[in-house]
């Protein structure tokens, strides 16, 4: 007889199976074919993706992945696995698993395995503090396609425990040097998504404001920007690269970057920031370019993941709600 228990599925974006061109191409094709990510009509986008984007972008992305690849694989996958193990230790009566929106293990597959193992109430926790259709849309679609009832936690940027944790990390790093500016750099999305009602910009602004209240550093030094722009369409501004160049031109040559969109090191934090944006800042006259490390499966963050899962399940049990308000 199956033993019924609570389940928790941590969901991250995903990663290529290896930094080889063929695996990077397969990953990019799956990722960029998701209409939650690229909203252009398929008849227009697919020929462009297959004929231009993938042939030109694959080798470049593969080079970046090779630079950051570790003995245990992709940092994003490695840290997600560590989070899963640590949260499982904190929730011994739960079944804690992880899945990826793109790549393996697949969300639907994991949910069915959990259900077959006897999990009678499953919490799905996307590892993205702010909600946006481009990250959560694919997750929600795959969860619904499984046919399994779940509680989906849509965001956690507004949790005081998370805000204090992020503020503590920033303060710890800020004390080490004399910084002119602290830049909250979020992953950008096309401005068209905001016009269509996506709450991401609002949630990013609220994250910055809430975390800043807990910071011990001078609040006037906090700035906000967006990174990782892709394609010719306008994305959320100000762009991080432009902000870095402007700060250097103004004589503000010591900056500290914090990336609240990312809970683990990945291509955007390791390659884009620590290499490309660092080089841009230095070439513009900047001197010190440091970054606050992401949560990276820290004990305190794994405590938070366990706490929020238990808390939100308690809030919804008995009322039939399948999604956090």
Within 13 Å, how many C-alpha atoms sit on residue 37's CB side? 19
| CATH 3.40.1440.60 corresponds to the domain 5-157+298-316 | no
Annotated binding-site ranges for Fe(2+)? 187, 268
pLDDT value at position 321? 44
| Per-residue exposure over 173-189, b if at least 16 CB sit within 10 Å of its own CB, e if not | bbeeeebbbbbbbbbbb
pLDDT value at position 6? 96
Q: Where in the chain is the domain with CATH 3.40.50.1400?
A: 5-157+298-316, 160-291
Q: Which sign does the torsion angle of CA 60, 130, 221, 291 carry?
A: negative
Annotated binding-site ranges? 187, 268
Phi, psi of 4 (to 5 degrees): -75, 140
Q: What's the pLDDT tens digit per position in 260-309?
A: 999 999 999 999 999 999 999 999 999 999 999 999 999 999 999 999 99
Compute, in degrees rounded to 10, the torsion defined by CA atoms 45, 49, 52, 55.
180
Contacts of 261 (CB under 8 A, 6+ apart): 128, 129, 130, 186, 187, 204
Fold of 160-291: Rossmann fold (3.40.50)
The C-alpha R_g of the chain, in whole angstroms, comes to 20
On the question of pLDDT at 10 being above 70, the answer is: yes
CA distance 230 to 38: 10
On the question of pLDDT at 324 being above 70, the answer is: no
Q: Which of 10, 8, 7 is nearest to 297 (CA)?
A: 10
pLDDT value at position 109? 97
How many helices (H) and strands (E) the chain has is answered by 13, 8
CA distance 198 to 111: 27
Sheet of 181-187, strand order: 222-227, 181-187, 254-258, 288-291
Contacts of 173 (CB under 8 A, 6+ apart): 256, 290, 292, 293
Measure CA 109 to chain center: 22
Q: How confident is the model at residue 71 (pLDDT cuts 50, 70, 90)?
A: very high
Contacts of 153 (CB under 8 A, 6+ apart): 123, 124, 125, 126, 308, 309, 312, 324
Place of tokens 């994305």: 235
Lowest mean pLDDT among 17-26, 177-186, 208-217, 315-324: 315-324
Question: If residue 266 lies in a helix (H) or strand (E), which one and from where to where?
Answer: none
Question: Taking a C-beta distance cutoff of 8 angstroms, is the pair 90, 52 a contact?
Answer: no
What mean pLDDT value characterizes the chain?
94
CA distance 228 to 216: 29
3-class DSSP assignment, residue 157: coil
Contacts of 226 (CB under 8 A, 6+ apart): 185, 186, 187, 188, 204, 235, 236, 237, 238, 239, 240
Q: What's the pLDDT tens digit per position in 18-30?
A: 999 999 999 999 9
Q: How confident is the model at residue 325 (pLDDT cuts 50, 70, 90)?
A: very low
CA distance 258 to 168: 12
pLDDT value at position 200? 98
pLDDT value at position 4? 62
Written as six digits, the tokens of 84 are 């899963």
Q: What's the pLDDT tens digit per position in 147-205?
A: 999 999 999 999 999 999 999 999 999 999 999 999 999 999 999 999 999 999 999 99
Question: Taking a C-beta distance cutoff of 8 angstroms, is the pair 139, 281 a contact?
Answer: no
């Amino acid at each position: 007889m199956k033993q019924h228990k609570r389940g928790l599925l941590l969901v991250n974006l995903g990663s290529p199976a290896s930094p080889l061109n063929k695996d990077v191409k397969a990953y990019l094709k799956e990722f960029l074919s998701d209409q939650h990510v690229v909203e252009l009509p398929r008849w227009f986008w697919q020929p462009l993706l297959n004929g231009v984007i993938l042939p030109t972008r694959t080798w470049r992305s593969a080079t970046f992945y090779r630079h950051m690849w570790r003995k245990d694989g992709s940092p994003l996958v490695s840290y997600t696995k560590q989070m899963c193990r640590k949260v499982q230790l904190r929730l011994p009566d739960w079944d804690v698993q992880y899945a990826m929106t793109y790549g393996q293990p697949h969300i639907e597959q994991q949910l069915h395995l959990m259900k077959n193992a006897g999990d009678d109430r499953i919490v799905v926790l996307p590892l993205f503090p702010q909600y946006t259709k481009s990250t959560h849309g694919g997750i929600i679609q795959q969860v619904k396609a499984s046919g399994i009832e779940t509680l989906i936690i849509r965001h956690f940027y507004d949790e005081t425990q998370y805000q204090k944790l992020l503020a503590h990390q920033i303060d710890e790093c800020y004390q080490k040097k004399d910084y002119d500016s602290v830049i909250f750099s979020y992953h950008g999305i096309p401005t068209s998504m905001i016009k269509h009602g996506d709450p991401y910009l609002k949630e990013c602004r609220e994250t910055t404001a809430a975390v800043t209240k807990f910071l011990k550093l001078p609040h006037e030094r906090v700035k906000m920007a967006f990174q990782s722009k892709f394609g010719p369409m306008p994305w959320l501004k100000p762009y991080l690269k432009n902000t870095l160049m402007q700060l250097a031109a103004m004589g503000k040559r010591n900056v500290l970057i914090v990336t609240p969109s990312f809970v683990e090191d990945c291509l955007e934090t390791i390659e884009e920031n620590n290499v490309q944006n660092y080089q841009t800042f230095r070439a513009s006259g900047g001197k010190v370019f440091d970054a606050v490390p992401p949560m990276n499966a820290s004990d305190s963050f794994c405590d938070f993941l366990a706490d929020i899962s238990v808390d939100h399940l308690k809030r919804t049990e008995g009322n039939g709600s399948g999604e956090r308000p």
